[in-house]
Chain A
Amino acid sequence: MAKYLIKRFLYMIFVFFIVSILMFAITKAVPGDPALKMVNPNLASTDPARYQIALEEARESLGLDQPLPIQYIKWMGNTLTGNFGFSIQYKKPVIDVVGTPMLNTVALNLFSLILVFAITIPLGIISAVKKRSVFDQAVQVGSIIGYSLPVFVTAFVFIFLFALKLPIFPISGTATPGSDYTGLAKFGDYMYHMALPLIVSTFCSLGGILRYVRAAMIDALREDYIRTARAKGLREKVVIYSHAFRNALIPIVTIITSWFVSIFGGSVVIESIFLWNGLGNTLLSALRNLDSALYMAMMMFYVVITLLGNLLMDIAYCIADPRVKLQ
């Protein structure tokens, strides 16, 4: 196991550097001059000479005047020491930009993850056990609808229903405008504003997982050891939860692990519609504004998270199924 982990870590380092070179090359190939974002555009019409000087200074300060290999080495060196650079869009260090969005994204995704699995696992099991019943068919139809509808359609329908027709939830934001709540009241207000994006996010994710759990359970219930367990006279609950579900867990673990990784991935659509200030929007905005330091830092973060997630998934497999050995 230890040998395997060391090999995997070496492999991850190799992949990390390859991806970083590719990312850097793609970033540099993007047309546009990031230095333009650093200079006050009003200066162009009031003092062109000063504007030109400011532009040159900005290029120098961003290191754009140096050869590409030097730029890469400097960027990588800084990144590895925790200096992720300066955001030209926000005019401050990248680390100061991503804090709030990361917190919001993790909060929304974590609650959504909990809700999705809290709903889909019992529902999937019941659906599998009551296969082809009215209940199962209703769940199937519901899950297909949730799975098929584009997120933005679901979001607007839910806004129309729960914010306009039945004004239960606020339309956007993370807090009541102008409120000065503290402590629990602040948290309550935050959760109240999270409700609608959370419901939409959860609703849109139910279909896929539900069908996955159901299929895994149906497969498990067909196995010989289930027939044996029933023949032994075990109670149906024990058969389902101790024998079938434990075996069905193996493929589900894969899904849970990959979802855990996605906790850090923001949904651009949900964040944009509900103005939930998260990482998805931040990344999109960085790309649109040629904020290379910001999006490079975020992309490399995702690369690392994905590599670690894959490793975590393999280890989780091992734990869920003792037959699997890491070699």
Chain B
Amino acid sequence: MKKMLALLMALSMTTAVALTSCGESSGDSPKDSTESTTSTESTDEESSGETTATTGGQIVIGSVTDVDADMFPGWTTSAENMSIFRLLYGYTTVDYTKDFTYEYDPQVVTAHEEIENEDGTKTFKMTIADDLVWSDGTPITAKDYVFGIMLNSSKEMGDLEADTSTGADYVGYEEWNSGESDTFTGLNLIDEHTFSVTVKADKLPYHYEITYASVTPYPMFKLAPDCDITDDGNGATMSEGFTTELLSQTIADTETGYRYNPTVVSGQYTFTSYDASNYEAVLTINDKFKGTWEECYKPSIEKIVIKKVNAATAMDELAAGTIDLYAGVSGGTEINKGLDLYDQGKVSYANWSRSGYGKLQFHCDVGPTDSTAVRQAVSYILDKNEFAKQYTGGYGKLVYGAYGLSQTEYKANKDKIETELNKYEYNLETAKEVLIADGWTLNANGGEFVEGTDDVRYKKMEDGSLQPLVIKWACTPDNPVVDLLNTMLVPNAPLVGMKIEPTVMDFNQMLTELYTPGSEYNMFNLATGFYPTIAPWYYYTTDTSYWGIYNNNMISDDQLAKVTDEMRYLVDEDEWNAKWLEYQKRFNELCLDIPLYSDIYHAFFTPKLQNYVPDGMHQWDQTLLYAYIDENATEVTATQGE
């Protein structure tokens, strides 16, 4: 087919040119696991009898984003593929728990040791369980873990255009990644079940330090069959034969490569098929999967189909039964459609607070939004409560800093956040006051600004020039948020002597402007998320070499930079939370973003899907581990999440 197409195109041109447990039942039934965190109500009085989870059934998950052919991390960033990776690539040593923390998985790691070295580096030594096997029954050894890091950090993978940053935090990465050395000094293969990773001194200490010990195995016997890894004590050394040519056959070959057809996996599910024509991936339960966490959780759903759906007809597909789960639904219109189906007894639903928000973001390096007062004034002239209500149809909340309502840091500081942060309530008079206090008191001729006579305020700058209070807003087309801001924000600007000039542009162009220090645009409409980790020390650094993709507020504030930089090194959770609050207060004071809405996401699903309890910090694939299929279930349920 490929050749035919090439021929056709070239010819034409050249013519012109479970939840079952490890062995025994864990006793932690699927239902038990949800009741502690959610309140569940049923449309009927009570569920008729208890249903136990049994392995079996099929679920079709509808996704509005594309599922692409990549079944190997390193090439795609598609959210759905990320979910697939988590289902296919298992036995990760350190993983994200359902209690929102990173922990060693006791089913995988039987012993671990953290060693502080004299040179400031730190070694994480791990012994893996001896009963881990690939889906074909082949034992998983420490070599597969070391291989995973070496492979995904290698020059050879880079030659195939894959991301090779996996081992960037470990000692010796640069030499291995550049192809300079065949030894990765920061990795040690100690014995068949023990290996270690050594983290660079300049990466320590680190709040998420345990994630340095997060390693996933890759089947060396499939991906580099004639290669070997040895260790003479100076690091893991790859044998000869590990070449780009080899990986282009074993991984990148479009017909047989592991990238498109991972035949042997370690995760909860095995890969069954990918249909590019139908935008669909099919996974089948891995009966060799041992389980995860203390409770030894195993999936119960036999077959998972991930299929693309059109947002306009997704609810119809759910009603017609062609999909079983439609997760992450936002916006009043769509949610109300789903709730109508719930009222008709056709679907169940669960909701949760998003770990992120939609926002107006400022550039703080050029005028007039280099002034905190101007940014605050913009916030004051927008009725954010009404905006959130209109945009989300009531299924959203306001936030006042850089956080999402499901973040653990927010939960730890909830009271203080709600009382101590400035909410910038809609008030035109306050907006005028902050502008006047900041010197925006002149008109175009340098005289005093007179309300009703002059249109735009001006401020005398240090060089004697007059700067107009004109904010250039880079906005995207076909965007309901932009439409609403055009009616709720832009008309209010002249009422305080301000002018907001929207310029509609393609999203990619907006990103380019966002990443350009000194861009002519002051304001951007975007959305952001805080899952599962945050790195504010990069986002607010005063080092201008980081401005752009990292610090895209272009903010240079010593206090904010100091607070966020300190966060990076805090390992203690209480200290971290306290510092996080400081960061939020400063962020709020500087008004770097105007958070517009934080959605309450909804998942709608057919009644056969039981015990599906989503939250803002886990994706559907992580939630599905605790769910099961009951083909006889007909009652619909409503689960209100946090």
Q: Once the chains are docked, how many angstroms separate the CA of A41 from the CA of B535?
A: 13
What's the least CB distance linking A251 to chain B, in Å?
A: 27
Does B14 contact A80, Cβ atoms closer than 8 Å? yes
Does B310 contact A272, Cβ atoms closer than 8 Å? yes
Q: Once the chains are docked, how many angstroms separate the CA of A275 from the CA of B2?
A: 23
Q: Which of A126-134, A135-143, A164-172, A314-322 faces chain B?
A: A164-172
Does B320 contact A178, Cβ atoms closer than 8 Å? no
- Give the bracket for the number of chain B residues in contact with chain A: 35 or more
Q: Which of B158-166, B226-234, B406-414 faces chain A?
A: B158-166
What's the least CB distance linking A48 to chain B, in Å?
A: 5
Q: Once the chains are docked, how many angstroms separate the CA of A163 from the CA of B312?
A: 14
Is B276 an interface residue when CB atoms closer than 8 A count as contact? yes
Does A45 contact B165, Cβ atoms closer than 8 Å? no
A100 contacts which of B161, B277, B307 (Cβ < 8 Å)?
B277
A17 contacts which of B17, B60, B308, B509 (Cβ < 8 Å)?
B17
Which one of B60, B165, B546 has the greatest number of beta carbons of chain A within 10 Å? Answer: B165
Is A300 an interface residue when CB atoms closer than 8 A count as contact? yes
Report the nearest A residue to B12, measured CB to CB.
A304
Is B9 an interface residue when CB atoms closer than 8 A count as contact? yes
Contact mask for chain A residues 23-39; partner B; CB cutoff 8 A; 1 contact, 0 none = 00000000111001011
Does B1 contact A275, Cβ atoms closer than 8 Å? no
What's the least CB distance linking A248 to chain B, in Å?
A: 31
What's the least CB distance linking A124 to chain B, in Å?
A: 32
Does A57 contact B77, Cβ atoms closer than 8 Å? no
Q: Once the chains are docked, how many angstroms separate the CA of A289 from the CA of B469?
A: 34
- Give the bracket for the number of chain A residues in contact with chain B: 35 or more
Does A99 contact B317, Cβ atoms closer than 8 Å? no
Report the nearest A residue to B60, measured CB to CB.
A177
Q: Once the chains are docked, how many angstroms separate the CA of A76 from the CA of B511?
A: 29
Report the nearest B residue to A300, measured CB to CB.
B13
Contacts of B282 in A (CB 8 A): 178
| Known contacts A40-B77, A95-B2, A273-B312; is-contact A32 B511 (Cβ 8 Å) | yes
Is A180 an interface residue when CB atoms closer than 8 A count as contact? yes
Q: Which of B68-76, B89-97, B141-149, B335-343 faces chain A?
A: B68-76
* A and B contact pairs by CB, cutoff 8 A, 18 listed: A12-B15, A31-B512, A40-B77, A40-B165, A46-B168, A47-B165, A91-B162, A92-B75, A95-B5, A159-B313, A173-B307, A178-B303, A275-B278, A275-B309, A277-B276, A277-B277, A288-B508, A303-B16
Q: A40-B165, A46-B535, A163-B320 are in contact. List 4 more A-B contacts (CB 8 A).
A: A15-B16, A32-B512, A102-B5, A308-B12
Q: Which residues of B contact A (CB under 8 A)?
A: 1-2, 5-7, 9-10, 12-17, 58, 60, 68-70, 74-77, 158, 161-163, 165, 168-169, 254, 273, 275-280, 282, 303, 305, 307-310, 312-313, 316-317, 319-320, 322-323, 505-509, 511-512, 534-535, 538-539, 546, 549-550
Nearest first, the 3 A-B pairs at minimum CB distance are: A32-B508, A82-B10, A178-B305
Q: Which residues of A contact B (CB under 8 A)?
A: 9, 12-13, 15-17, 31-33, 36, 38-48, 50-51, 54, 57, 61, 76, 79-82, 84, 86, 90-92, 95-96, 98-100, 102-104, 156, 159, 163-164, 167, 170-175, 177-178, 180, 272-275, 277, 288-290, 297, 300-301, 303-305, 307-308
